Amino acid sequence: MDLRRLAGDVRVKTSYAFTERDGERILAAILSSEDIWRVIDLSDVPMMALCEAIRAMRAAGWVEFTESRIRLTDPGRKLVQELGIAPALELRCGRCRGRGLELGPVAKIADRFKEIARSRPEAIQTYDQGYVTEESTLYRVAFMWARGDLAGKELLVLGDDDLVSLACALTGIPRRVVMLDIDERIVQFVRDVARAEGLEVEALQHDLREPLPEELLSAFDTFFCDPTESLRGFLAFAGRGISALRGPGSAGYMGLTRREASLSKWRAIQKELISSGAAITDIRDDFHDYVNWPYIETMRAWGHLPVKRVPGRDEPWYRSALIRIELVEPPRVENVRLEGDIFTDPEAATT
């Protein structure tokens, strides 16, 4: 068995275009850590493909597992040496945790936002929820502010289990904040907090499979959305955001992960974003850390995990990039109804 054959086997068993490079990334990650969640985090290979690849590596005698650890065997060590694979190296800045920026004026609202988030509705699997840390949300807001997309602007948040609408409203600088969510609990939470805190946030219950209400079309300067990771779901949600933008100069923000989206999917998404009239101005990988959700043992990938250890709540392994686009042409997306399951595709791991 060699890496090329192993990659071929994984391609046959999954629908994922697994490369030798993906195999290298997994081996480099195992060289750096024996913890399965760190390996998933460091390797940047979609989780379902990674599980299949590790199974094949075990069959090849390259890796072995204990109840809580994964490590290279002697033949595995020999292989990585022959191939010149070095341990995965993470050089995240110790101050900004890799995000590249300071909170600046957003630091002033940090305590209040964290206090509010303490009583937030818990993430549920029905809507593929899973929220980012409060710190990630605050840095998001700082990023939008620094890009000029917040002060004096009208903002639409599509799907808001991260409570971005509240964090933005707390800064007091946007001209208007509207949020949509399918989950009545979140809509009600945002309404209650807004009333109690004296914040202006319009919170609407809305299923993004349905067309956007007419009055939200071409009405915003900025949108934010952290879509579900299936290709169809991602494009649908991002498309709703784009159709809500005024035109050239308007900006959109999205979260996109490597954990459930292959680079082939990234490419398909990017192609679509560009076709819709936008340029991509920023991709900051690992900008968002997710809080581990309570349904981890019933998520799709659980049964495939080689080492079944439940990660601690504050042991982030699921991260996503922050992507910013800016329209350079009038938006080109259709505001039509979407039928069927938009949450799952072969790479989905957490639904």
Exposed/middle/buried for residue 167 (C-beta within 10 Å: 0-12, 13-18, 19+):
buried
Secondary structure class of 157 (helix, strand, coil)? strand
Q: Which conformational region is residue 176 in: left (phi greater than 0), alpha (psi within -120 to 50 degrees), or beta?
A: beta
Nearest to 140 by CA among 103, 114, 171, 111: 103
| 25 in contact with a copy of itself (CB under 8 A) | yes
105 binds a copy of itself (CB under 8 A): yes
**Rounded to the nearest 5 degrees, what angle is found at the Cα of 21, between the Cα atoms of 85 and 296?**
100
Place of tokens 């590790």: 54
Q: Which of these, 288, 286, 280, lies nearest to 252 by C-alpha position?
A: 280
124-163 residues in contact with a copy of itself (CB under 8 A) are 142-143, 145-146, 148, 151-152
Nearest to 47 by CA among 86, 20, 10: 10
315 binds a copy of itself (CB under 8 A): no
Angle between the N-to-C axes of helices 36-43 and 20-32, in degrees from 0 to 180, rounded to the nearest 10:
140
Task: Determine if 1 is a binding residue for a copy of itself (CB under 8 A).
Answer: no
The CB-of-275 to a copy of itself minimum distance in angstroms stands at 8
Q: At its nearest, how many Å lie between a copy of itself and the CB of residue 267?
A: 4
Is residue 100 near a copy of itself by the rule CB under 8 A? yes
CB neighbour burial string for 143-160, b if at least 16 within 10 angstroms, e if fewer: bbbeeebbeebbbbbbbb
1, 17, 219, 307: residue in contact with a copy of itself (rule CB under 8 A): 17
Residue 101 within binding range of a copy of itself, rule CB under 8 A: yes
Interaction between residue 336 and a copy of itself (CB under 8 A):
no
Residue of the chain from 2, 102, 184, 200 that contacts a copy of itself (CB under 8 A): 102
Length of the chain: 351
Q: Where in 219-278 is the site for a copy of itself (CB under 8 A)? A: 248-250, 262-264, 266-267, 270-271, 274, 278
The position carrying tokens 């075990």 is: 58
Q: Is 172 in the site for a copy of itself (CB under 8 A)?
A: no
Instruction: Tell me the CB-side half-sphere exposure of residue 195, using CA atoms within 13 A.
Output: 6
Nearest residue (CB) to a copy of itself, 297 versus 329: 329
In degrees to the nearest 10, what's the CA dihedral of 301, 302, 308, 311?
90
Chosen residue from 66, 67, 89, 339 binding a copy of itself by CB under 8 A: 89
Per CB under 8 A, does 279 bind a copy of itself? Answer: yes
Stretches 97-105, 198-206, 292-300, 341-349: which one binds a copy of itself (CB under 8 A)? 97-105
Least Cβ distance, residue 190 to a copy of itself (angstroms): 24
- For a copy of itself, the closer of residues 85 and 166 by Cβ is 85
Give how many residues touch a copy of itself by CB under 8 A. Answer: 59
Query: Which residue ranges make up the site for a copy of itself (CB under 8 A)?
Result: 17, 19-22, 24-25, 28, 83-86, 88-96, 98-105, 142-143, 145-146, 148, 151-152, 173, 175, 248-250, 262-264, 266-267, 270-271, 274, 278-285, 326, 328
